[in-house]
Amino acid sequence: MAGQTYNPYDNVLKVMDDAAALLGYSSSDIEALKYPERELKVAIPVVMDDGTTRVFEGYRIQHSTSRGPAKGGVRFHPAVNLDEVKALAAWMTFKCAVVNIPYGGGKGGVVCNPTELSERELRAITRRFTAAIAPLIGPDQDIPAPDVGSNAAVMGWMMDTYSMLKGHCVHGVVTGKPIELGGALGRNEATGRGVMFTTKNIMKKLGMEFKGTDVAVQGMGNVGSITAKLLDEEGMKVVAVSDVSGGIYKKEGLNIPAILKFLGADRKNLLKDYEEEGMTRISNSELLELDVTVLIPAALENQINASNVDRIRAKVIVEAANGPTAAEADPILKEKNIVVVPDILANAGGVVVSYFEWVQNIQSVSWTEAEVNEKLKNIMDPSFEAVWNIAQEKNTTLRMGAYLIAVERVVKAKKARAIWP
């Protein structure tokens, strides 16, 4: 791909085509899945704290609603663009299908850097963005959630804005909300908890010892930090972590509780300012290339690609981020006998518990955190088993196994509904 611009949506199309071919589908069977059902681009004018007006660009895309309402996060990041949001929406379609929850795929994004915004500015962007996409969203249509750069507070503002426009409280319009606004207990930890379950599952299948085994985590946002915390608590040795400012490495294992306390003290705190005895500073690219047993990319897409795949030394990669491995890297990783657990399976815990939150909202019921975590495990473990079994049966990768299950479920739903009119 030298000299070419990386397009994550092309990545989605390639894997989908490969899965459809293995399933024996014709091009007509999957043609509609290659095009998002709706793409909305909005302008978001905001009066900044200094009195100037800035216009931010935002998107909401619904890839497929064949299996249910669109479901997917809202990303606040400077690199947000149309192709990225299209890819993320399509990944959500297949992610929901692989764990068999009744959703389609959607995604949203705003081009901004939340770390450079005041809380008032971020709230203003959120409210104006919500108002702009309000015709597309709703508990029966499209349910946003947190993603990179957004959090429970942002979801609370989104819910309030939508409720003000409707004239009554609508809890189920978003998930990942504060508990006080109908959020699910365990939702904040759900994606990371799902990654932890998946890591345990793959290591058990490969006959690897879990406790004391070294793991590196790229990214210390919600998913990466919770993953590192839970793996550390379960006995794995987290030897490296990183964020946008760079990474840190310690062969004996890092003090994860201390790191999380430091990062949590202020949302502007970064690892470049963290100190721990015996640690060394590394770059994000160096972290990916460490000689560790397990590598967990939990940052952004296209981290493992043609330029660095030859230097990847981990034995197992568990994709906590969406699309961290470019399509051209997959066959090389397979040649190197590096096992990759794909994003649409590994990080599905977030959308599973989002589903639980939505169910609780629309039924006006409440579950304990223990119930939520148990229900999550009862979906993640059989989903992993199904993907493992079909990959073994077809002698293919776990990524292809996941897509074989997901594409078949979406195509069957689409065929059952038929093309309207």
Cα–Cα separations (whole angstroms), residue 378 to 133, 247, 295, 399: 34, 34, 25, 21
Q: Would you state the pLDDT for residue 226?
A: 97
- Position 3 pLDDT exceeds 60: no
Residue 421: asked if its preceding bond is cis (omega within 30°), the reply is: yes
Q: For residue range 321-359, what is the model confidence (pLDDT) as tens digits?
A: 999 999 999 999 999 999 999 999 999 999 999 999 999
Kindly report the CATH number that applies to the domain delimited by 36-173: 3.40.50.10860
Strand, coil or helix: 164: helix
Q: Return the pLDDT at 267.
A: 78
Q: Return the domain boundaries, the chain.
A: 36-173, 188-346
What's the CA gap between 308 and 298, in Å, rounded? Answer: 17
**What is the pTM for the complete model shown?**
0.95
Q: Which residue out of 107, 200, 229, 237 is catalytically annotated?
A: 107
Give me the chain's average pLDDT, please.
96
What is the spatial distance between Cα 25 and Cα 30, in angstroms, rounded to a whole number?
7
The more confidently predicted of residues 3 and 405 is: 405
Beta strand ranges found along 161-275 (DSSP E): 214-218, 237-243, 246-249
Q: Which fold has domain 188-346?
A: Rossmann fold (3.40.50)
Residue 315: active-site member: no
Lowest-pLDDT range of 3-7, 20-24, 229-233, 269-273: 3-7
Mean pLDDT to the nearest integer, 289-305: 96
Q: What are phi and psi of 341, to 5 degrees?
A: -95, 120
Name the helix (H) or strand (E) containing 405: helix 398-417
Per-residue pLDDT, 268 = 83
Amino acid 5: pLDDT: 76
pLDDT of 6 reads: 80
36-173 and 188-346, same CATH topology: yes
Helix (H) or strand (E) holding 38, with range, is strand 38-47
- Across 416-421, average pLDDT: 94
Average the pLDDT over 95-121 and give the result: 97
Q: Strand 294-297 to strand 142-146: parallel, antiparallel, or no bridges (unpaired)?
A: unpaired
Coil vs helix vs strand at 106: strand
Q: How far apart are CA 200 and CA 349, in angstroms?
A: 14
Q: Where are the alpha helices (DSSP H) in 99-221?
A: 119-133, 152-166, 187-205
- Cβ atoms of 400 and 18 within 8 Å: the answer is yes
Q: How far is CA 54 from CA 43, 44, 49, 148, 228, in A?
A: 10, 8, 11, 22, 37
pLDDT per position as a tens digit, 167-205:
999 999 999 999 999 999 999 999 999 999 999 999 999
Q: Is the pLDDT of residue 2 over 50?
A: no
What proportion of the chain, given as a percentage, has pLDDT over 90? 96
Looking at residue 257, its amino acid is P
Q: Using CA atoms, how far apart are residues 75 and 63, in angstroms rounded to an integer?
A: 16
- What tens digit of pLDDT does each residue of 123-176 get? 999 999 999 999 999 999 999 999 989 999 999 999 999 999 999 999 999 999
Paired sense of beta strands 294-297 and 280-282, if any? unpaired
Mean pLDDT of the 401-414 span = 98
> Residue 4 has what pLDDT?
58
Contacts of residue 374, Cβ cutoff 8 Å, sequence gap at least 6: none
Which tokens sit at 82?
């149309």
Do 161 and 131 contact (CB within 8 A), yes or no? yes
Adjacent-strand bridge partners of 71: 105, 143
CA–CA separation, 215 vs 242, rounded Å?
Answer: 12
Listed in sequence order, the DSSP H helices in 220-368 are 222-233, 256-265, 284-288, 330-335, 343-346, 349-363
**Confidence band for 1, pLDDT divided at 50, 70 and 90:** very low
